Structure 1
Amino acid sequence: MTERTLSTVYDPKSVESRIYEVWERGGHFAPRDGARGTFSIVMPPPNVTGVLHLGHALDTTLQDIATRFRRMQGYSTLWVPGTDHAGIATQARVEQALREEEGKSRYDLGREAFVKRVWAWKEQYGGTITSQIRSLGASCDWSRERFTMDPGLSRAVREVFVRLYEEGLIYRGNRIINWCPRCRTALSDIEVEHVEEQGVLYHVRYPLEDGSGDLVIATTRPETMFADVAVAVHPDDDRYASFVGKTIRLPLSNRAIPVIADSYVERDFGTGCLKITPAHDPNDFEVGERHGLPALVCLDQDGRLTDLAGRFAGLSREEARARVIEALREEGYLVKEEPLDHAVGHCDRCGTVVEPYLSEQWFVRMEPLARDALERARRGELQFLPGRFMKVFEQWLTNVRDWCISRQLWWGHRIPAWYCASCGQVSVSRDDLDHCLHCGSADVKQDEDVLDTWFSSALWPFSTMGWPEHTPDLARFYPTSLLVTGYDILFFWVARMVFMGVHFTGKMPFQTVLLHGLLRDAKGQKMSKSKGNGIDPMDVIDKYGADALRFMLASNTVLGNDLRFSWEKVEGARNFLNKLWNAARFVLMNVEDGFSPQPLEAQSLDLADRFILHRLGETIRRVTSALEEYDVGEAARAVYEFTWDEFCDWYIEFAKINLYGDREEKKRQTQSVLLTVLSRVLALLHPYIPFVTEEIWQALPNTTGMLIDAAWPEAADLPEDERAVEQMRVAMDVIRAVRNARSELQIPPKTSVPIVIACDSERVRGVVDQVTDMIVRFCNAERVEVGAGTEAPKQAAVQVVTGAKIYIPLAGLIDMDAERERLKKEASRLKAEVERLEKKLANENFVHRAPQEVVAQEREKLADYRAKLLTVEERMASLEG
């Protein structure tokens, strides 16, 4: 695929698309026979209207890591990709284009022509997000790509609807739903975005019909009072006990309503009196059902007041509120107004305030489905990562409400129900009907509504495998092994897939659910267009490459926790890729083409060789263990630390001794170690950064085939030597300490220095004696004196490491007087900063009034200045006497 050479600089733009095309064209994403069984996963289907955002990027990266890992382990691996038809979003997009380009609405075209227009739009623009997911490196089997409105998946939707209807688990009824007056459709809870707004709590006087007094209710929505059917108080509220059972005269409409007692009322909120409006509030609806109250509607589907509002009929909600408040004030019913901050639901597509609305809709009866799913989960058939989400899952299923599944749209799976004008019965069928199944009349009409998009996506794990047919994929890959998604759709999607999977296949749809957090900006704020803090992942890929984005996301992931994005983190990931690339170039420049590593016999290996091979084995075991638990962040951090710190920064430097020496057998031994470590590091990193690792793999002299098909690295054949690790870490600590001291004192690298190492014990001295030659070479030491309990030399810089103190006598190396003066000035500056911050943090006004993050930053600065001052004072003391 590439020549066995690497360019001087890694350029992701010249690599990523080329490699991905080879992978996809070569069928490397398709499942192969696997000795270890099967691993399957389905992609949470992004909206066909969508483009890649950071949430998709994280989701896709985590899935690809798991898939590539299991593929390399020898599993027959299937990752099914696909997209969702996204009813509201797609219809809104096409309607907008129709308005802007032709000045028409969907009603001008009619349903059939409009749906054809949406299909045409989908074919033209619907592949944007899948092409972007490809650019991220997703190794899913595109030959099995699915769409929620494919013929097979549409058949599964029909089958599920009809079976549930036949079992009495789907019904049509009047209940409160979320209604968007602009989109003119019901919305699911997740399609409602709650925004904190400043509102007003209006206190309104409702007079008793017998003239004996009045009750004051508190409401944020006075325009709905025309649909009030009662005023409720808490049964234990002594203030209002004598009012229960009496009748109140409704202001502005002069209609009589009862005073009732219900424990739903919060005695401490507002006045403790609650207006009950069953048609416009879900909680009021339940109160109304408990007390047998009627449900009156005072708002229509466009959000305008109905004839029930009398003189206010026809006004919009906003106009009506202002006019009603004005009338209540003029007629003496308005007692007072209080500011109130509260969350208001908005349609996440058009931004319109959502209306709780009583409407005749189709519902799924959830309690029986939830009960079965919960029993199976409690038996251990379902695992959540992190495990704390099992409690959240149980809470959702324990308090579940019936699910409104009908939407007033034209794009989607049309509800398979036909209404007969002759007998008034409803016929539900798997096939399209031209006659009534009850009376045989041809005068039938299909329901105008379509199904909630979440209905079809709830079937995704098994409908994508060919259900209700008994397909080979269904038999082989279902139940799936893993689901990866955000914790914010635990109920809206995950729980519903569990319901449907258990009910229709008798099995959990997946064994494990990995719930990741949400992506936020560097300050921890939610990303949004309005805040201007959103990040387009395609911009990141264009600037730094897909691997850098993937590694940043994965290495900063802690299961279930939100993740902060920053460009600095992406740059750090890019730097890691460059470090790996340069290390690979070094190895290739020092290994001839066609070189084959020799067996690694522990007795013939140098100390540095034994150290790096032992640490490689430990890293392989640590990474494998973490990925087995899908702890991708922990695995990434483990391989990062080994690759950057131990292999690149240390072993490669030690390797140069033999590579540039005159002993051929030592050179070949070091070449073998370098290739062994590099090839296994590439395999460990491949699930995270597949493009750069594949490119380097193809350049290695001892590899065949592609890295995507290679076996996961093992540690069993690597020598183990804890003693070598102990010795090398001592050497590394000493070398690092001396280099730090030289840098701080600005001693030129070419100037050799004497080193005195005072060990805490004879054991430590024995270890240091084994690595003295390394210390001399890598510290440019003119001599090294090692002893246990050695006295500190005068006028020496000191560094402390575990088990020893390192002294560098400075006489003759630096200008002692100049250094003392420099340290004195630095100490004076640091003392001034410490005193300034101590005074600032002693000011209670600042500590209590300033933002907590500002106070925390000042405390961090103080701790940093104190630590620097202590270091300077220690250096000053070391130069005395």
Structure 2
Amino acid sequence: MEFRNKCCPAGPDIWVFLGRPIQGEASRATKRWHPGPSDKPTCQCHTWARYPLIPFTILENQKKSRKTLTSQGPSALAVLRNVQAGAGGATSRTTRSLTMEKPAAQAPGKAASEEKQLDDKELELERERKLKKEQKAREKEEKKLKAKQKETARLQAQATSDGPKKSEKKQKKKAAGDENPEDFIDPETPSGEKKSLAPQMAKQYSPSAVEKSWYSWWESAGYFGADPASTKPPFVIDAMIRWRRMSGYNALWVPGVDHAGIATQVVVEKKLMRERKLTRHDIGRDKFISEVLKWKDQYGGTILGQLRRLGASLDWSRECFTMDDQRSKAVTEAFVRLHKDGLIYRDYRLVNWDCTLLTAISDIEVDHLELKEETMLKVPGYSSPVQFGVLISFAYPLEEGLGEIIVATTRIETMLGDTAIAVHPEDKRYKHLHGKHAIHPFNGRKLKIICDAVLVDPTFGTGAVKITPAHDPNDFEVGKRHNLEFINIFTDDGKINSNGGAQFEGMARFAARVAVIDALKEKGLYKDTKKNEMNLGICSRSNDVVEPMIKPQWFVNCHTMAKAGLDAVRSKKIEIIPQQYEQDWYRYLLLPSYKCHLLQTSDGLKIYAIGVFQGNSGGDIVYLRVLGWPDDTADLRAFYPTSVLETGLDILFFWVARMVMMGMQLGGDVPFQKVYLHPMIRDAHGRKMSKSLGNVVDPLEVINGTTLEDLLKRLEEGNLDPNELSVAREGKKKDFPDGIAECGTDALRFALISYTSQSDKINLDIKRVVGYRQWCNKLWNAIRFAMGKLGDHYAPPATIVVSSMPPVCKWILSVLNKAIGKTVTSLEAYKFADATSAIYSWWQYQLCDVFIEAVKPYFFNDSQEFDSARAACRDALWVCLDNGLRLLHPFMPYVTEELWQRLPQPKDSCRKTSIMISEYPSVVKEWADDKLESEFGIILDTVNKLRSLKPPTDTNERRPAFALCRGEDIAATVQCYQSLVVSLSSVSSLKILAESDETPPDCSTAVVNKDLSVYLQLQGALNAEVELEKLRKKRDEIQKLQHALSQKMEASGYREKAPPSVQEEDMRKLTAFFEQLRVIGEAEKKLDA
């Protein structure tokens, strides 16, 4: 059977099954290799194929610059012959065209007859060739055996000194050929069952392989659920929830989907217009609601699917939707109770009106565009751009022949609804006009000239202000103060109505803007147009310019409830985190006109008293609704008030304050005890994420990875108009020229949490997420190392005796103890970035970089002398990994579960079935050893200084080092850890010198502290000029620190105000600076000599 691809003229393919899983694949994978002139793929038209009978591995032979195929099965030889012969029997050093063929079966008789045709001479030559070939093979094997014996001897010699790192890698590579590829591939696991792990860990971490199957098992096992009858303290909201669950809390996080009101309405309307050329008015309310629910079913499922992929440990048995029967019942009940209490009333008020959506929108849905000068903007419904950012001046004629009065406005069309002109009462220019009237030029309406010191600034412009009470918030208040007439001049769709006059009736508002200017010019009343800075309100959903309009609306009187909300924060019944936002809370709730507005939309909740309403009217009581209110449920009794509200700081006023007021009014208590305000995510450049900019990042694109082509394709599938699409495409190309690499859920979660220290914004850089994905590989390799050293029969002890362990084991447990304490303290204080920093630092810089490297010599040396130390190292290693994975789990749930499941289980233990329900680590007092940590601090500083002295090109060579100790104590410390310094800093030896000893020549030097300096002998590789420059920079740096510290100590009041402990520490630092400068000076003299 021949495996060829006939569609490609470049040549045949060879399709093989890889012996090792491809990175990112969870199951068996196959790979196509189509070599061309440079052994690079020349054809992109082929698909993946599977040849499962012959396990192959593609290897690179750098010496011969060709690809070869290796196999453990005899069938591979036939394939290899075909590869070597090539198509048509051609051979070359670089194989250009390969074909994998299964040799055709030949008839026995035919084969025999062909063999007989060979003459005796040819047969003899063939035998000689075979004998020579066999002889060469034997000689080659003998050479290999001798080389292996020599290598073994070298390894044994090195094991007694500094550890055979290189030889260990070589042995691993040799052993790799004997491994069964199937041992590294996880078996398929049925959904909901505990994941089946491969016998051997894969060589590299693969997010997609690791994250597969765990979530469905967690969910089916009921680990996400909470029991209302439990006696554990309740805790509600994923890093927080997982941590509290592991800490023994009855943790509940309820999933739900909001109908999203206006946001959904806009999207569905655009979809209807794009696909069917229909508006919501064309199909009617009921059919439109049906379309909205269809959209919700489709994209609501996407949202919940994203939450699952992100590892959110939600109690899915309690899933809810804001418009389901129970939640609708709660909203109706809330309305009825508030109405009975006299808190809900109907009134005519100014609202943010969207002339495209034909609805009022909340303040949170209004974006404010800052205009510095005249700007032409595209507005929905207008074919040409509209002018903004200008101030237009015109005159009103005065009655009784008193002349005219000049006013200015940015919205000239609203002059059709003017009912007064305001001046400052102390402005002498207009004293004679108080109580007089101006005459409207288009309808003859009398406009009273009123005095208002609140609104009018006599130094701005002409000092006279036109008043349009029905279309401006400030004018609305003036109208109420002076009992003016409120004249609405717009229809709901933004056209001039009959109140605007027959001349302009039916015109679109911005077309009327131009017509009014022309009409004023005709009457000689137009004065001029100047550029003007302004804030323009834009609907975030439709991009239409918001029009202030008076509408009958339902409102909730919040004065009493606002006071209760203020008192709740002041008395710490509710804690706002970070605390700095408490001032915003007080400022919002102290507003004299504070009230809640019940928005009305097409797809909201039906209440016959008002038609429909949505938005915060239902969201305000969400914490009651999800727990079964108004019914007296077990969930409501157990979990209300909840523990934490975690939300964005941008809705502290728009939603959080309203939830507090409604919760206290209807639920009888605060809805939550803490409010944690997370930063808002921006792109890497600090810009707000916007679909029109093309900088929105879908978390699944980061988790799974994606190409630039797919990113652009998704933009085209959205609702962007051509201009927005063009901008968005350019944004994607600029930010993600190579697409997005597969990062996995754990890396994304850890990155986002670590970003929370960035004040009120997160500038999300995908490169940082990629970095944490690489760090996951570091964790993976740490466990792989441990599994190899612990062995198949290792059983962790129930307790460990730290006192009998080697110092490095005592040290790692002590710093682990500190990491645990720091993490728990940070979590309790809601300083999540500090928690991730503590965990990362311990894993990276203490466990992996120091401890694992330090204990390797114990495992490389089989001497019985080190049996006790090896056993202690195994125990310490297991304790560290078990605690370290549990410490990390709330932040990286998938990789920690997978690695934790691979750790050996202690004998006769009650270990939990999953890491997510195991106990979160706590501080163990017996592990703390501050003195040992101090000693290791000096030793690790020594190691780092020695590493820094190595020339950049000197990667492998080990050189002799020297430690100059100025005192017996420091000499004893270095002597105690001499072998550790040699091992970690990769030097050949470390000689301890006293102050009286002469330092060797040709050395590079560094100061560790005032009592210790180190030297590295470069033996001919020393560049005096380079070393002098390094010393000069170090001297300048120390001198700056010394100068700053000296100024601090010499400042007036220092000796009187600074605590004695601070003064002692400052003096110690100053002495150390002087000593370091002295050592640097001596080193400079030697180099100059």
Provide TM-score, normalisation by structure 2: 0.69
Q: Deviations over 1:590-632 (max 9, x none)?
A: 1123422233323211111111111111111110011011111
Relative to structure 2, which stretch is displaced further, 207-216 or 783-792?
A: 783-792
Counterpart Cα distance in 2 of 1:671 and 1:714: 21
Counterpart Cα distance in 1 of 2:898 and 2:459: 67
Counterpart Cα distance in 1 of 2:228 and 2:359: 48
Task: Assess if the C-alpha contact under 8 Å between 2:1002 and 2:1020 holds in 1.
Answer: no
Considering only aligned residues, what root-mean-square deviation do their CA atoms show, in Å? 2.6
Matched, 1:679 2:882: yes
Task: Assess if the C-alpha contact under 8 Å between 1:38 and 1:476 holds in 2.
Answer: no
Which of residues 319, 336, 340 is equivalent to 1:145?
Answer: 319
Which of residues 407, 425, 447 is equivalent to 1:257?
Answer: 447
Residue equivalent to 2:944:
736
Residue equivalent to 1:461:
623
Counterpart Cα distance in 1 of 2:227 and 2:332: 33
Residue equivalent to 1:700:
903
> Counterparts of 1:97-116 in structure 2 under 5 Å?
97-116=271-290
> Counterparts of 1:549-588 in structure 2 under 5 Å?
549-558=748-757, 561-588=760-787
The residue type equivalent to 2:528 in the other structure is K
Residue equivalent to 2:604:
412
Which of residues 726, 740, 753 is equivalent to 2:960?
Answer: 753
Task: Assess if the C-alpha contact under 8 Å between 2:806 and 2:872 holds in 1.
Answer: no
Residue equivalent to 1:271:
462
> Counterparts of 1:806-825 in structure 2 under 5 Å?
806-808=1013-1015, 810=1017, 813-816=1019-1022, 819-820=1023-1024
Counterpart Cα distance in 2 of 1:67 and 1:316: 53
Counterpart Cα distance in 2 of 1:515 and 1:553: 14
Residue equivalent to 2:682:
520
Task: Assess if the C-alpha contact under 8 Å between 1:299 and 1:306 holds in 2.
Answer: yes
Which of residues 808, 823, 828 is equivalent to 1:608?
Answer: 808
> Counterparts of 1:604-753 in structure 2 under 5 Å?
604-661=804-861, 662=863, 663-702=866-905, 704-716=912-924, 718-744=926-952, 746-753=953-960
Deviation of residue 804 (structure 1)? 3.9
Instruction: Go from structure 1 to structure 2 and tell me whether the alpha carbon gap of 1:704 and 1:471 turns closer, same or farther (over 3 Å shift).
Output: closer
Q: Deviations over 1:429-472 (max 9, x none)?
A: xxxxxxxxxxxxxxxxxx4x311321101110111000010100
| SS of aligned partner of 1:392 | helix
Instruction: Go from structure 1 to structure 2 and tell me whether the alpha carbon gap of 1:732 and 1:824 turns closer, same or farther (over 3 Å shift).
Output: closer
Instruction: Go from structure 1 to structure 2 and tell me whether the alpha carbon gap of 1:792 and 1:352 turns closer, same or farther (over 3 Å shift).
Output: same
> Counterparts of 1:283-682 in structure 2 under 5 Å?
283-310=474-501, 311-399=503-591, 401=593, 403=595, 405-417=597-609, 447=610, 449-542=611-704, 543-558=742-757, 561-598=760-797, 599-661=799-861, 662=863, 663-682=866-885
Identity %: 37
Counterpart Cα distance in 2 of 1:366 and 1:475: 26
Deviation of residue 158 (structure 1)? 0.3
Q: Deviations over 1:844-875 (max 9, x none)?
A: xxxxxxxxxxxxxxxxxxxxxxxxxxx99999
> Counterparts of 1:232-251 in structure 2 under 5 Å?
232-251=422-441
Q: Deviations over 1:316-351 (max 9, x none)?
A: 111111111222233222222211122211111111
Counterpart Cα distance in 2 of 1:530 and 1:94: 18
Deviation of residue 674 (structure 1)? 0.5
> Counterparts of 1:1-40 in structure 2 under 5 Å?
1-3=195-197, 5-32=200-227, 37-40=232-235
Task: Assess if the C-alpha contact under 8 Å between 1:205 and 1:334 holds in 2.
Answer: yes
Which of residues 406, 419, 443 is equivalent to 1:216?
Answer: 406
| SS of aligned partner of 1:388 | helix
The residue type equivalent to 1:180 in the other structure is D
| SS of aligned partner of 1:232 | strand
Task: Assess if the C-alpha contact under 8 Å between 1:826 and 1:872 holds in 2.
Answer: no
5+ residue gaps, structure 2, are 1-194, 376-388, 705-741, 906-910, 1034-1078
Which of residues 305, 308, 325 is equivalent to 1:131?
Answer: 305
Counterpart Cα distance in 2 of 1:793 and 1:272: 87
Counterpart Cα distance in 2 of 1:751 and 1:40: 56
Counterpart Cα distance in 2 of 1:416 and 1:374: 33
Instruction: Go from structure 1 to structure 2 and tell me whether the alpha carbon gap of 1:604 and 1:169 turns closer, same or farther (over 3 Å shift).
Output: same
Counterpart Cα distance in 2 of 1:497 and 1:878: 73
Counterpart Cα distance in 2 of 1:269 and 1:699: 75
Instruction: Go from structure 1 to structure 2 and tell me whether the alpha carbon gap of 1:501 and 1:404 turns closer, same or farther (over 3 Å shift).
Output: closer
Counterpart Cα distance in 2 of 1:319 and 1:550: 51
| SS of aligned partner of 2:607 | coil
| SS of aligned partner of 1:414 | strand
Instruction: Go from structure 1 to structure 2 and tell me whether the alpha carbon gap of 1:24 and 1:820 turns closer, same or farther (over 3 Å shift).
Output: same
Counterpart Cα distance in 1 of 2:996 and 2:234: 59
Q: Deviations over 1:745-783 (max 9, x none)?
A: x44533331313243x44333322322232233332334
The residue type equivalent to 2:942 in the other structure is V
Instruction: Go from structure 1 to structure 2 and tell me whether the alpha carbon gap of 1:464 and 1:191 turns closer, same or farther (over 3 Å shift).
Output: same
The residue type equivalent to 2:232 in the other structure is G
Counterpart Cα distance in 1 of 2:995 and 2:835: 40
Instruction: Go from structure 1 to structure 2 and tell me whether the alpha carbon gap of 1:494 and 1:646 turns closer, same or farther (over 3 Å shift).
Output: same
Matched, 1:797 2:1013: no
Deviation of residue 211 (structure 1)? 2.5
| SS of aligned partner of 1:66 | helix
Residue equivalent to 1:434:
none
Counterpart Cα distance in 2 of 1:355 and 1:701: 67
The number of equivalent residue pairs is 785
The residue type equivalent to 1:880 in the other structure is D
Counterpart Cα distance in 2 of 1:607 and 1:34: 48
Residue equivalent to 2:415:
225
Counterpart Cα distance in 2 of 1:215 and 1:38: 71
| SS of aligned partner of 1:288 | helix
Residue equivalent to 1:860:
none
Provide TM-score, normalisation by structure 1: 0.85
5+ residue gaps, structure 1, are 42-62, 418-446, 830-870
Task: Assess if the C-alpha contact under 8 Å between 1:278 and 1:285 holds in 2.
Answer: yes
Counterpart Cα distance in 2 of 1:221 and 1:304: 14
The residue type equivalent to 2:774 in the other structure is N
| SS of aligned partner of 1:619 | helix
Counterpart Cα distance in 1 of 2:843 and 2:293: 49
Instruction: Go from structure 1 to structure 2 and tell me whether the alpha carbon gap of 1:790 and 1:36 turns closer, same or farther (over 3 Å shift).
Output: farther
Task: Assess if the C-alpha contact under 8 Å between 2:950 and 2:1016 holds in 1.
Answer: no
Counterpart Cα distance in 2 of 1:153 and 1:35: 25
Choose 1 or 2 for highest CA Rg.
2
